[in-house]
Amino acid sequence: VFVFAMWEEAEPVIAHLGLIRRPDSLAGLPARLFSLPDESSSRTDVHVAWNGHNARFHGNNVGTTPAAVTTYAVIQLLKPDLVISAGTAGGFQAAGSGTIADVYLSSKCVFHARRIPAAESGAGSAGSGLQQLEESGFAHIRSPPLARLAQRIGAKIGVVSTSDSLDCSSEDLALLRSEGAAVKEMEAASCAWVCQQSETPFFAMKAITDVVDGAHATQQEFYANLSFAAVALKRAVVALIECLAERPFFEWVGLPVGKL
């Protein structure tokens, strides 16, 4: 299952694969689920979940809350072998990830704006419960080893970092740098956390639309590059599905079944 926040990201994949809407599938949520038609000859069972349209403010349901509930709902409904948070993201010149339309797979997913500081010394210092609490904010959810898949589909690998903000405060930037983030976006770590609870294999797959530490304002750069990056993402999604038709995911990541 591919989980997308934006229709502009999901639509090229839905159209290319000929997926059809399942009207009754995610009751109570704005999310929409698209699946292969019954007559499909595809060797891989592919579904796309889109977080849906925001009825109050219009536009897409971006951010961590819709991402989490959609992911939970599709896991309950489909019991998938693999969930992928797919979409677009910011890259970083300083980290070498500032090329528009490059596609990244996650090495791990973190949150960079869930700051729960432990004290410098005493009660909150290293090894204490408060230190653990600070770390739990960042989440640090490792992805399976994806080097072989990345090489086959022409993607790169990097740390994907999530917050609910499109902009980047100076605190955000400091944390993104200290985590070695290559990719900044608004859903992946949230999906990763939900998948971790049910031991559902997960990774993020993101195409770069803007350079966080570059010369242009993020929002303008994002919209200027969105459709170009969405096409690059669709190509990578299709290549990934071909790989998974060749052999199952656990073989690509070199782990025995049940050890993801």
Residues recognised as catalytic: 9, 210
Nearer Cβ to ligand ADE (44/209): 209
Amino acid identity of residue 23, one-letter, is P
**Residues facing 47 on adjacent strands:** 35
Nearer to ligand ADE, 32 or 184 (CB): 184
Nearest to 56 by CA among 28, 33, 30, 34: 30
Distance CA 145, CA 200 (A): 15
- Pair 147, 157: CB distance under 8 Å: yes
In whole angstroms, what separates CA 30 from the centre of its chain? 19
Cβ–Cβ under 8 Å, residues 150 and 158: no
Q: Which is nearer to ligand ADE, 44 or 71 (CB)?
A: 71
CB of 35 to ligand ADE, least distance (A): 26
Least distance CB 176 / ligand ADE (angstroms): 10
Burial zone of 109 (CB within 10 Å; 0-12 exposed, 13-18 middle, 19+ buried): buried
Under 8 Å between Cβ of 256 and 145: no
CB of 91 to ligand ADE, least distance (A): 8
**If you ran DSSP here, which 8-state letter would residue 214 be given?**
S
Among candidate residues 78, 92, 87, the one with its CA nearest the CA of residue 210 = 92
Task: Give the nearer residue to ligand ADE in terms of CB position, either 116 or 217.
Answer: 217
User: Minimum Å distance from CB 211 to ligand ADE?
Assistant: 8
Which chain residues interact with ligand ADE by CB under 6 A? 88-90, 166, 184-186, 209-210, 212, 218, 222
Q: How far is the CB of 87 from ligand ADE (least distance, A)?
A: 7
Strands 2-4 and 141-142: unpaired
Give the nearer residue to ligand ADE in terms of CB position, either 106 or 209: 209
Q: Cβ distance 33 to 22 under 8 Å?
A: yes
Which residue sits closest to ligand ADE, CB atoms considered? 90
